[in-house]
Structure 1
Amino acid sequence: MTAAVDTRPDTAPRGIRRKARAYVALTKPRVMELLLVTTAPTMFLAQGGVPNLWLVAATLIGGALSAGSASAFNCYIDRDIDRIMKRTQGRPLVTGEVTDREALIFSYVVGVASIAWLALTVNLLSAALSLGAILFYVVVYTLWLKRRTPQNIVWGGIAGCMPVLIGWAAVTNDLSWAPVILFMVIFLWTPPHYWPLSMKYRDDYAAADVPMLSVVRGRSIVGLQVILYAWATVACSLLLVPVAGMGVVYTVVAAASGLWFIWEAHRLYSRAIQHVAEVRPMRVFHSSITYLTLLFVAVGIDPLLPF
């Protein structure tokens, strides 16, 4: 008698892969990518050329773990409003692919791993800055500011500025004015980057009772604030030229891409005050990402050139 053959597909590997993807989703990879884009170029600037590539890799790994931990904690804490907002209803804690307990354990494990990794492979200053970034994002932004004030993203954005300090400290084991200026560039850039996104999803934030600026103020006020912060961002980026002795490449890229970013901000405001139905805030959102990427690519390339 021939034994029956089980022709059903093996669901175990598929289930493991699905669970792994859910854990990765908790770390918000797209946010993590943007943070790492600012880290490596800063290390090139700190070195004044090409830094030790193993050090770059170690710093990026530690930074990715740190950002992933902070994002996972954020998903755990905000799981109640994520269930309300349409934009976030696909997150693992909302769909049930990861339990609350699993997410919390994962957040702690990844966070501890990030600090230990940076302390052992980079230096203690980078590890301390990474710990500060996690605590600021989780405690100050997520637990304190986010649901209490429309200035949440302004001050909460400090956590997103920390990678440039971590990258600089990884190379030099100290801090100076150049990384502080880069820190301020990202600090000033964060509101005109995020507020257009909050305009797009205004109804989501209103339903979740999150007081984003776009919820508590009209489109024209948000548009004006975007303009002011865009101008401040570009002005701050140009301070790096005299302070860090930046060359032609950085100067041209910072000025040209900055003018484009400012123009997009003015375009958003113009459509808002004219009460155009389609304000298209996502143009500024995507433009801001391109602007920051170009700026930091120039930060990394400039030290490699003789002019």
Structure 2
Amino acid sequence: MSDASINTTGAQTQIGDAGFGDYFALLKPRVMSLVVFTALVGLLAAPVGVHPVIGFAAILFIAVGGGASGALNMWWDADIDRIMKRTKGRPIPAGKITEGEAFAFGMTLSVMSVIMLALASNFVAAGLLAFTIFFYVVIYSMWLKRWTPQNIVIGGAAGAFPPMIGWAVATGGISVESVLMFTLIFMWTPPHFWALCLFMKSDYENAGVPMLTVTHGRRATRTHILVYTILLAPIAVGTAFTSIGGPIYLAVALLLNALFLKGAWDIWRRDEVQAEADKYRTEKKVFALSLFYLFGHFTAILAQSALAPFGIGGW
């Protein structure tokens, strides 16, 4: 069991100071915003319409479920969050909220979100949400993250489920299109996260987390980023020729994948002397591009869906 589950005494200072902002921070709002956006795209891109009230409720409960995952992740990772510069300001290591309170908060929101999504939409969507929470907390956080450098490769599936959940809300099932949206996020996650790891390596070393940069070094990580980006490109571009794609999506995909491939190539060509000389400027640039990459693809899917009823934008 993680030290985070038993080391509670050191985190119980200043608990009375916890406010709404501290509990909201437990939900990992930045990650939750990506969950909401991709789930919304999955819902709106589906070929079946959803009543606005049902759609709003579904997205709300998906967001709550995503936030619950974040709270449970912070509960489990509290011990390493206290060590890493990037995370030591989070509510638990900062002494605002105890680990027990974070666990209770996360579990309550998890159960509530799954039950309410089932009532608002269907059991397929609720089942996918429940599995997503389980996957992120148990498979990724408790098992993979501290055990294998492939943690983010396999664990990335947790962040890839939201568009499938949104699609299931509308259709009650899974399709090729929803699997493609899942695969797009799944394949994007490793190069996105490894680009971050290249200039955050010391954090993971200090915390003893076996990220690829720690176990295999930055040279191997650069190669992995290039390989995964090459594998990602045909999936992203190929989606243009499905029912959720079209000329608009194709144009966006071609541009973004060309830029992402160039960025991955630039990262691969560099050595550590060059990177340290300019303080990992290229790596940080590619990491920022990776954020826009995913947003651009899903925005294009949303645009295609919005234009479809007017007979515009499709093949």
Could you tell me the TM-score, scaled by structure 1's length? 0.90
Which structure has the bigger radius of gyration? 1
1:106 aligned onto 2:105: yes
For residues 62 and 180 of structure 1, what CA distance do their matches in structure 2 show? Answer: 21
* Paired AA for residue 87 in structure 1: R
Structure-to-structure mapping, 1:1-307, within 5 angstroms:
18-47=18-47, 51-244=50-243, 246-272=245-271, 275-277=274-276, 278-280=279-281, 281-305=283-307, 306-307=312-313
Distance in 2 (alpha carbons) for counterparts of 1:245 and 1:67:
24
How far off is 1:102 after superposition?
1.0
SS, match of residue 173 in structure 2: coil
Cα distance in 2 for residues equivalent to 1:296 and 1:16: 41
Q: Letter of the aligned partner of 2:230 in structure 1?
A: W
Contact map agreement 1:272 1:279 (CA 8 A) in 2: no
Q: How far apart, in 2, do the equivalents of 1:68 and 1:267 lie?
A: 35
Distance 2:191 2:179 in 1: 20
- State the shift of 1:19 in Å: 1.6
Equivalent residues of 2:191, 2:229 under 8 A apart: yes
| Helix, strand or coil at the partner of 2:275 | coil
Give deviations 1:219-239, integer Å, cap 9, x for gaps: 222111111111222211122
| Deviation (angstroms), 1:51 | 4.5
Please, what TM-score do these two structures have when normalized by structure 2? 0.88
Change in Cα spacing, 1:82 to 1:252, as seen in structure 2 (3 Å) is same
| Aligned partner letter, 1:35 | V
- The residue number in structure 1 matching 2:4 is none
After superposition, the C-alpha distances for 1:112-136 in whole angstroms (9 at most, x for unaligned) are 1110110111111111000000000
Aligned structure 1 segments of 4 or more residues deviating by more than 6 angstroms: none
User: Which amino acid counterpart does residue 218 of structure 1 have in structure 2?
Assistant: G
Indicate the RMSD between aligned Cα atoms, in angstroms. 1.8
In structure 1, distance between residues paired with 2:275 and 2:161: 37
Residue 18 of structure 1, CA deviation: 4.7
Paired positions, count: 292
Structure 1 residue 17, shift from structure 2 partner: 8.7
CA distance in 2, matches of 1:57, 1:227: 39
Give identity over the alignment, percent: 37
State the one-letter code of the partner of 1:229: Y
CA distance in 2 between counterparts of 1:99 and 1:66 reads: 21
Does the aligned pair in 1 maintain the 2:43–2:167 contact within 8 Å?
Answer: yes
Match of 1:276, SS state, is: helix
Distance of aligned partners of 1:245 and 1:34 in 2 relative to their CA distance in 1, 3 Å threshold: closer
